[in-house]
Amino acid sequence: MKFVSSLALATISVLGAGAATPAVAKKADAAQEAPKAAYSDEEKKALLPLQTAVNAKDWEAAKLAVPAAVAAAQGPDAKNLLGSLLYKLGDGVKDTALQAQGLDAMIASGKIAAADLPRYYESQGIIASNAKDYAKAETAFARMVELTPNDTNAMISLARTKLLLKKNAEALPILERMIAAQEAAGQKPEEMWYKYALQLNLDAKNGPRSLELSRKLLAAYPTPANWTTSLQIFQRSATLDRPTELDLLRLMRASKSFTQGGEYLELAERLDTAGLPGEAKSVLAEGVAAGKLTASQPGYADLMRSVGARTQADRASLSSEESRAMSGPTGSLALKLADAYAGYGDYPKAVSLYRAALQKGGVDANLVNTHLGIALATSGDRAGAEAAFKAVTGPRAQLASLWLAWLSRGA
């Protein structure tokens, strides 16, 4: 199960994705005016022609002056000034390699104020990433994260770079931290980051965390595709009995998560086996209407003919069974009739019988509350459905929470 790809990763930009940040350009100008800078006579002699040419935007003369300036600049102030001049020269001639050389020199000089260093590492990482020097970019973004541990943009850039370097195990905790930080700040992380974190957890076979992240993805971005993802993960990670599997398929149908005709057929077959021809018939009809099933599809014609032949007599028999269900010692028959009425779309009757089944007892209350919640939700009683789903405990609780997520999709 793959939800992200290397192609998608390659399209994600780092931070601003520009050559460097405006703040660094301003600091590069300021480096030329640093007070009390100490230069040797040799450094002054070599740096002055470069500085004069750069300030005059005489780029050809500046290029000629670079080798001597680089050779002479040995002290911290000289390296800082050299770096600022190389950076400006690179900006002037659109040479990012020169800009990178300038940034490296300024950072190595040790003269950059601590408050400004994160922006320098940011620019260094951006330029390296754009040049596909991901190892250097990783180092730069790692330093930026160290200096600004709450900067989610820095975390994103470091995580992205680690992913490009195939260091998935190292990228995952950074992504998780970034997502948690944005959620804590009341922000909504971008959909792609939920998906990357989810994919990495799936790759690591971390089932519980994958399930949790799929819920977060679903809550933030309740698209049909994300419903499919979340429900498939739940289906594969949980151990479900057949009635719970059937209710999961019902949720897939309700959330429009079916993508293939075979899924409609599977649900219809299970409903038919459960003695619910009316619901089975409606599922088949819905599959055709959605363009996922055709009359010529293997299995469809026989199943539709079978359930269609039984629905009229089945529907007519329900009313004669009601009095027996209501007077019975347990809620078993009431539950069975409620499921049948729900399958035919008679939700008021189904709700009444589900509640009778709960009152009488002798049935799985968690199953009944699940079905009661589905009937109430489908009929438009959101508050009642929420109460029913919240009453579900035990192994069905996770499925009920997914139904609650579907219920809140329009909130």
Residues 6 or more apart whose Cβ sits within 8 Å of residue 190: none
User: For domain 6-166, is the CATH number 1.25.40.10?
Assistant: yes
Tell how many helices (H) and how many strands (E) occur in the chain.
22, 0
CA distances from 388 to 218, 249, 360, 384 (A): 21, 19, 17, 6
Amino acid at 43: E
Residues 6 or more apart whose Cβ sits within 8 Å of residue 101: 83, 86, 90
Q: 335 burial class (0-12, 13-18, 19+ CB within 10 angstroms)?
A: buried
Please report which helix (H) or strand (E) contains residue 129, including its range. helix 117-130
Instruction: Spell out a b/e string for 350-373, using b for 16 or more CB atoms within 10 Å of the CB, else e.
Output: bbbbbbbbbebeebebbbbbbbbb
CB 85 within 8 A of CB 69: yes
Nearest 5°: CA angle at 238, between 397 and 194?
90
Residue 391 sits at φ, ψ, to 5 deg, of -80, -10
For residue 394, what is the DSSP state?
A: G
pLDDT tens-digit series, residues 18-29: 444 545 655 556
Pairwise CA distance, residues 267 & 258, whole Å: 10
pLDDT of residue 410: 56
Tell which residue, 201, 221, 251, has the closest CA to residue 399.
251
Residue 23 corresponds to which tokens in the numbers above?
């703040």
Domain ranges for the chain, please list them.
Answer: 6-166, 222-407
Half-sphere exposure (CA, 13 Å, Cβ side) for 232? 16
Residues 6 or more apart whose Cβ sits within 8 Å of residue 63: 89, 93
pTM score of the predicted model? 0.71
Sign of CA dihedral 304, 310, 312, 314: negative
10-residue stretch averages of pLDDT, the chain, 411 residues long: 46 41 57 67 96 96 97 95 96 95 96 95 95 96 96 93 94 94 92 92 89 89 89 85 95 92 95 96 95 88 93 93 93 97 97 97 98 96 97 94 86 45
Pairwise CA distance, residues 359 & 9, whole Å: 55
pLDDT of residue 38: 86
Nearest 5°: CA angle at 74, between 72 and 78?
85
Sign of CA dihedral 402, 406, 409, 411: negative
pLDDT of residue 9: 44
For residue 166, what is the DSSP state?
A: T
CB 219 within 8 A of CB 401: no
pLDDT tens-digit series, residues 248-294: 999 999 999 998 999 999 999 999 999 999 999 999 999 999 999 98
Pairwise CA distance, residues 279 & 343, whole Å: 4
Token pair 């940034």 is found at 103
Pairwise CA distance, residues 338 & 320, whole Å: 13
Rounded to an integer, what is the distance from CA 340 to the centroid of its chain? 38
CB 73 within 8 A of CB 46: yes
Sign of CA dihedral 288, 291, 295, 297: negative
CB 182 within 8 A of CB 172: no
Pairwise CA distance, residues 174 & 178, whole Å: 6
